[in-house]
Amino acid sequence: MLHGAGGSARHGLDLLRPLADDVNLILLAPGSQGPTWDVIVEDFGPDVHAIDEALSHTFEHYAVDPSRVAIGGFSDGASYALSLGIGNGDLFRHIIAFSPGFAVPPRQLGTPRIFMSHGTEDRVLPIDRCSRRLVRVFERAGYEVNYQEFEGPHVVPEEMMREAVHWWLEGTVH
């Protein structure tokens, strides 16, 4: 789980931590190398390397079900998750994007499922310019998108966390 701009790894972890133990999740929440994820400012770089290292460490030390591997985030972290997830759909079968602003995948690989939510009163990343536009783009490209809007600002309500985890785990092949 990837944090928003100005956030930390802890912020990413907190996105789903309240639910992790209940459903037996392994959460990985690396921090960006700068104030936000590198592609937001320039291009893919050291943040991708750090995420790769963290994933390698996790796969070496834990039994991970490949059908359940997801990438997700909030705000800039959601934009980065969409970009990396679409570009690495063979690894990330699921993408969880809470209030993303954009996506710039380096390529399209695989067909990950996408969960996206956004507040209708978001003033940081306005819903019309962001999620509503992204949903149309991804659906036209053939991606399965579960899109949820909620009344509220630039936040992740607990109900959206629960919806995302339920969608993620119900959609995996066991």
Q: Would you list the domain boundaries of the chain?
A: 9-170
| Residue 106, token pair as written in the block | 């380096």
Q: Are 75 and 154 in contact (CB under 8 A)?
A: yes
* Residue in the structure block whose two tokens are 């956030």: 7
* 53 C-beta neighbours (distance < 10 Å), count: 11
Q: Which residues of 63-98 are buried (b: 16+ CB within 10 A; e: fewer)?
A: eeeeebbbbbbbbbbbbbbbbbbbbbbebbbbbbbb
The mean per-residue pLDDT over the stretch 70-96 comes to: 96
Beta-bridged to residue 150, according to DSSP, are 119
Q: 9-170, superfamily in CATH?
A: Alpha/Beta hydrolase fold, catalytic domain (3.40.50.1820)
Report the range out of 6-15, 60-69, 122-131 with the highest average pLDDT.
122-131
- What is the pTM (predicted TM-score) of this model? 0.93
